[in-house]
Copies of this chain bind each other. A is one copy, B any other.
């Protein structure tokens, strides 16, 4: 099993069938699958159910980048809660009236919370990075299962690894966004999130194998 989460943010020309073939082809070989808002908009809760049915192993993560009041975030998750293992939300909405409510709800139904610490695109440097002390406090207070830090800036992965020792670190930005496979794992991430490079490949398994040397360079023999 490679410490990779495969991200699906499909456009309108991608059918659910294509996604499910990719999921089946990678099932057992990767740590899980991340389904974003475009996936929800196109396929609805049924799409989540089908992905869950297509692979009994690994994590199914709803990457809704939730950033609303607690009441609304909870309602969104309820629509798919039977089919997923974890949900991604933004730390920048804060604790009271937002993430505390979400965390309590997720705990009550046995789902994991993953909070975004920083993002992979350059715009995040203008806003989220300068406010990171505030975001840190939110994450330390909520103690989520996982934290997102960008593979495009490995120093922030290292920082997240040190700041949140209890958390799994998940790193997007590998592939289409520029970071090379293995970069975040070498910096201490638990999972690299890889989308376009793998998800809709004609042969996802072969695409995964082609980046395996990069992924393995900082892993012990037992990890992959």
Asked whether any CB of chain B lies closer than 8 Å to the CB of A53, the reply is: no
Q: Mark A67-81, 1 if CB is under 8 A from B, else 0.
A: 111111001101110
| CB proximity to B under 8 Å, residues A34-63 | 36-38, 40-42, 44-45
Complex partner residue of A38 from B44, B75, B91, B93, CB under 8 angstroms: B75
Give the size of the chain A interface in residues (CB under 8 angstroms). Answer: 54
A95 to B75: give the CA distance in the assembly, Å.
29
Asked whether any CB of chain B lies closer than 8 Å to the CB of A65, the reply is: yes
Give A49 Cβ to nearest chain B Cβ, in Å.
13
What chain B residues lie within 8 Å of A66 (beta carbons)? 37, 65
Closest to A40 in B: B41
A148 to B38: give the CA distance in the assembly, Å.
23
Q: Mark A157-201, 1 if CB is under 8 A from B, else 0.
A: 000000000000000000001000000000000000000000000
> In the assembly, how many copies of this chain are there?
2
Closest to A68 in B: B65
What chain B residues lie within 8 Å of A67 (beta carbons)? 65, 67, 90, 92
A37 to B79: give the CA distance in the assembly, Å.
10
A97 to B122: give the CA distance in the assembly, Å.
6
Complex partner residue of A70 from B10, B69, B121, CB under 8 angstroms: B121
Q: A67-B67, A68-B65 are in contact. Are A123 and B93 (CB under 8 A)?
A: yes
A177 to B125: give the CA distance in the assembly, Å.
32
What chain B residues lie within 8 Å of A64 (beta carbons)? 37
Asked whether any CB of chain B lies closer than 8 Å to the CB of A99, the reply is: yes
Complex interface: stretch among A23-31, A126-134, A212-220:
A126-134
Asked whether any CB of chain B lies closer than 8 Å to the CB of A137, the reply is: yes
Asked whether any CB of chain B lies closer than 8 Å to the CB of A98, the reply is: yes
Are A138 and B126 interface neighbours, CB within 8 A?
Answer: yes
Give A134 Cβ to nearest chain B Cβ, in Å.
5
Are A37 and B93 interface neighbours, CB within 8 A?
Answer: no
Are A41 and B92 interface neighbours, CB within 8 A?
Answer: no
Complex partner residue of A123 from B45, B78, B97, B177, CB under 8 angstroms: B97
What chain B residues lie within 8 Å of A138 (beta carbons)? 126-127
